[in-house]
Structures are given as structure tokens and as C-alpha cells.
Structure 1
Amino acid sequence: MNFTKGIKGLALTTALVGGISFLPTNTGAETLGWSEETGYVNTEENVMYSSVMYASSSPDSHRAKIDHYSPSQMNTRKVTGYTTWNGKNHYTRARFDNGGSKVAADSGRKYGYNSTSAASGWYDTTWSSLVAKTYWGL
């Protein structure tokens, strides 16, 4: 009896773990829409797939702007991203990052249908190598 339970448990574990390996490694990944270093990104070449996204899936438009806190504090900035994707539930994200693990003033993913916007918090870039960026995704 215990032997049968052990075999069933092993088979279930193997099926669950084996099924995980079929998931794409970039599920839930974000697509960079704009960077103050490079400007707008060619989305055709830089699409990162989520589990429901296809290579031809891209928003109708994505734009960004940078605001300065005041004329006397030009290094204190925030970035805002705007995405229009008719007929799609999607998100926009705005933040300062270094393309690696360092992130500041992150808006988080702001979801909506047809059009979304996201604004980072104010961030002082005086002594920072972080760059303003916006992202979009499903």
C-alpha cells in the first residue's frame, strides 16, 4: 500500500516539475519603450514575450516625458510613460534604473484598457548613474 502511494506521489511530482520546464523563461518580462539614453526603442526588435504576447503584439503608441521639479532643481526629475493599445488590457511602467538590478522611484505596473499612464516618483539624479526609462507589456 505504501509502495503504491510512493509511486503515485513520484509520478505526480515528476509531472508537475516536468511541466514547469515548458514555460517560457521570459514569462512576464517587460518591454523597454523609451530610455533617456537611446530615445524610443524599436519595439519590433526588442519585444520580450509574456505567456500571451506574440512577436507582432505591440502598442499603437508609446511615449514618455521628463518633468523637472523646478528651474532651480533641474536634476530632480520624474519620468511619465503613456501607452495606447486599443482593445488590450496592458500596463505602463516608469522608473529610473541602470539596466541591471538598481532601481529607484518605480511607479510599478499601472494596468488599464486601451490607454495607460505611469509616473515615477521624483528622483535626484545629481550623483546617480540611473537613467529614466518607461516600459509596456500585457
Structure 2
Amino acid sequence: MSEHQGLRVFIIDDNEMTRGLLRVIIQSDKYDVVGDAGTAESAQLRLRSIRADIICLDVVMPDGDGLTLLNWIRGKQPKAAVLMVTASTDRTTVEQSLRNGAKGYIVKPFNPGTVIDTLDKIATQIKTQRAAARA
């Protein structure tokens, strides 16, 4: 049994191929991909009824930006860890994402190993926080 088994991941990216690739990379004995969305609006609708432990979030979307959505997520699902997965390498965007609560930042195109390694680090943080909350 994996130490991170049962962590629920939700993917938000406007590119359907990227969502599919992330789903294939992430879905395993470690993580359960519980849904995805291609727009900020559909993400907000779906995340009203789906609880996620980790949310993979793109910065650039056709109907909004990921930084605004990140703030919305922090308000609606404050326990969810957000991993930014985006083509944006703008230093200001990276810094603002992390300052606004993102737990990590991966630049596309990404290496599958980097995605899993980053998720594993975030999962360890979640596990530590949950253990501390129970103590």
C-alpha cells in the first residue's frame, strides 16, 4: 500500500491533451484523479461538489487566469494544495503563485518524473499537516 494512497487530485488546464497526459501520469496506486476541467468556470462548478487534496492548475485559461482561480480555490477549499502546471515562466507569475498559496510550480513541457516527484513532496506535506492536526 502506498503511503500517499487515497489522495484525490483534480486537474485544471484548457488543453485537453495536457489534461489527459496529466491524468495518465498521476492516476496510480498513489493518487486518484477525481476530475478535471478545461475552463475556470467549469472548474468552479465542479469544485463546488468535488473535494480534492491536490489541484493541478494552469495559469492561462480562455475565460480567466489561474491566479484568480487560485485565490478562489484557497477560499473554497483551503485544505487543498495547489500545484501550478503551466507554460508561463514569468518570474512575477511564479512568485505571485507561491505567495498566494501554491505549493509548487512546474513548467510545461514537463517530465513525468518531475510531476510525480513534486506531487510526492506535496503529499508528504499534506500527510505531515494531517498528523499534526490529529496530535
Q: TM-score under structure 1 normalisation?
A: 0.27
Which structure would you say has the larger Rg? 1
Q: Which has the higher strand share?
A: 1
Q: TM-score under structure 2 normalisation?
A: 0.27
